Amino acid sequence: MAEARIAVRHFNARLWLSGAWLLIALLAAIFAPLVAPQDPLAQDLMLERLPPFWLQGAEPGYFLGTDSLGRDLLSRLIYGGRIAFIVAFVAASVACLVGSALGLIAGYFGGWADRIVSRIVDIWMAFPPVLFAILLIAVFGTGLGSVIIAIAVIDWTRFCRVVRAEAMAQARMDYVESAQIAGFSRIGIMLREVLPNVLPSIVALLSLEMGIAVIVEAILSFVNLSISTDDPTWGGIIAEGRLSIHQAWWVLVFPLITLFLTVLSFSQFGEGLKARLDPVLR
């Protein structure tokens, strides 16, 4: 019992710390025009590769320095967060809705429904995810919508497999048999009894998927397959920083740290929510 309480407190700490970082990053992205100290697209070659504020040679107003074109790095990171969070929320939500619905139906009803959904998932997962994403973007063209579609089309299988397994386990529980004896319809039992018990796993997986979506968008923007405009993205900033790592290390390091903390926070936030929502862990 004592170990369980310690584990719950540990989960709560992860929940609050990761939630705090995500909230700060999200608010900064939403209010970017008010928060960003400079125009993220403004170029000034006289200010190229300025160091962060604590190093010699820094300029006031450029807290994390500038890139090779004299653009403010902090402002570009804040505006890049907009793209990252849009992709995370929209793509992960679409994948969650599609995958969870199919997984719930397959796991609870079983039979032919389970066989059809399982075969589709097996075929879908036979394609390498990254190559599949690049193929979809090549078909639909670059752009934010194409990135969201590619991530949702690829990652719905992750939700489907997890929810299917959870629904199959819940369908064998005594409370399901009691509901059947009471005369409830199968769809009613699935929505009222099975779904609430599967929901903690869905929430944790949704948060994890948001972090994965951020990584995928960063990879695609790194290879110039994300948005086609001049808007800053974290992957694009990393690609720029890689070219000037010896002259301006901060252009590469700070977006990597931002990306790492955001993805880690999504993962830990999901685990913390699962601990709070799951009656067994709670």
179 inside domain: yes
User: Which residues in the chain show pLDDT less than 50?
Assistant: 1-2, 7-8, 10
pLDDT at 1: 46
Q: Would you state the pLDDT for residue 27?
A: 95
- Give backbone dihedrals phi and psi of 66, rounded to 5 degrees, phi first: -130, 170
Q: Is residue 198 part of a domain?
A: yes
Q: Quote the distance between the C-alpha of residue 148 and its chain's center.
A: 11
Domain of 70, CATH number, reads: 1.10.3720.10
282 lies in some domain:
no
Give φ, ψ of 56 to 5 degrees.
-65, 135
Q: How many domains does the chain have?
A: 1
Q: pLDDT per residue over 93-141, tens digit each?
A: 999 999 999 999 988 888 888 899 999 988 888 877 777 777 888 787 7
Model pLDDT for residues 206-240, shown as the tens digit of each residue: 999 999 999 989 988 888 887 766 789 999 999 98
> What domain range includes position 264?
2-277
224 domain-assigned: yes
